[in-house]
Amino acid sequence: MTKTAADYAWFEDDFPDIAEAYCFTLVRGLSPTEVTARLGGRSEAPLRGVTAVVDAAFAQYDLEAGDRQLIAMVPVGDWTLLIEPNGYLGVTEEQALPASAGTSWISHFTNINALGTFLRAEDGVLRLCFDPVFPEDRWGTAPDELLGVMEQIGFHFDDDDDDDPETDLSAPAGFALAEHLTGVAVTPTLLRDTTFTCATVRIP
């Protein structure tokens, strides 16, 4: 059964430190070490729990004068999950498309200004990209392939009546669509209890 945006409504309440600005990416069939290599990253000390990852990411940003982004990674089934607090490398086409060579790359991002991106790449090709707040504006080689699923998940299209920002679930909908495509569920336990492999990547 496909998860909906409501199934991820807990994220903002349970993890407010990262919920305002993040990028979550899932890469099929590559280990954290391989992902780090594809992104030209530098290995860093592992960290336990997403709160420690958030703290380290902001400390790293200050230390490197904003030149490098901390990424926390963990294998989940056939995929590797990447988490970037206050980051956006996963939805940057110049990074994501080359890194998706021979595999699948699913990423979603939001920032403190409520700007967002959902990106799906397959073997270097951009299949789908859109802002979760404005899902009617989609591009890529298969922009309509997931339209029915997106409606089921709870993305609000331009003919919807519910435009109340207090009930906007566009960001949680990104988690649900990523789970639909990968089978990987992001859970509170995963975020709290995981010891993440970490790396830093230069921001282009």
- pLDDT, tens digit, 9 for 90 and up, residues 48-81: 999 999 999 999 888 877 789 999 999 999 999 9
pLDDT in tens, 132-175: 999 999 999 999 999 999 999 999 987 555 555 556 899 999 99
* Amino acid residing at 94: E
| DSSP assignments along 96-130, one per residue | HHHHTTTSEEEEEEE-TTS-EEEEEEETTEEEEEE
pLDDT in tens, 170-199: 999 999 999 999 999 999 999 999 999 999
Residue 194 pLDDT: 98
Residues 6+ apart with CB under 8 A from 93: 119, 126, 129
Contact present, 195 and 48 (Cβ < 8 Å): yes
| DSSP assignments along 53-74, one per residue | HHHHHHHHHHHTTT-EEEEEEE
| DSSP assignments along 1-49, one per residue | ----GGGGTHHHHH-HHHHTSEEEEEEET--HHHHHHHTT-EEEEEEES
Residue 163 pLDDT: 53
Residue 60, phi-psi category: left (phi > 0), alpha (psi -120 to 50), beta (remainder): alpha
Residues 6+ apart with CB under 8 A from 81: 24, 25, 26, 73, 74, 75, 184, 186, 190
Res. 35: pLDDT tops 90? yes
Per-chain mean pLDDT for the chain? 94
Can you say how many angstroms the Cα of residue 167 is from the centroid of all Cα atoms in its chain?
Answer: 21
Res. 90: pLDDT tops 60? yes
Q: How many CB atoms lie within 10 A of CB 129?
A: 19
Contact present, 175 and 108 (Cβ < 8 Å): yes
Residue 12 pLDDT: 94
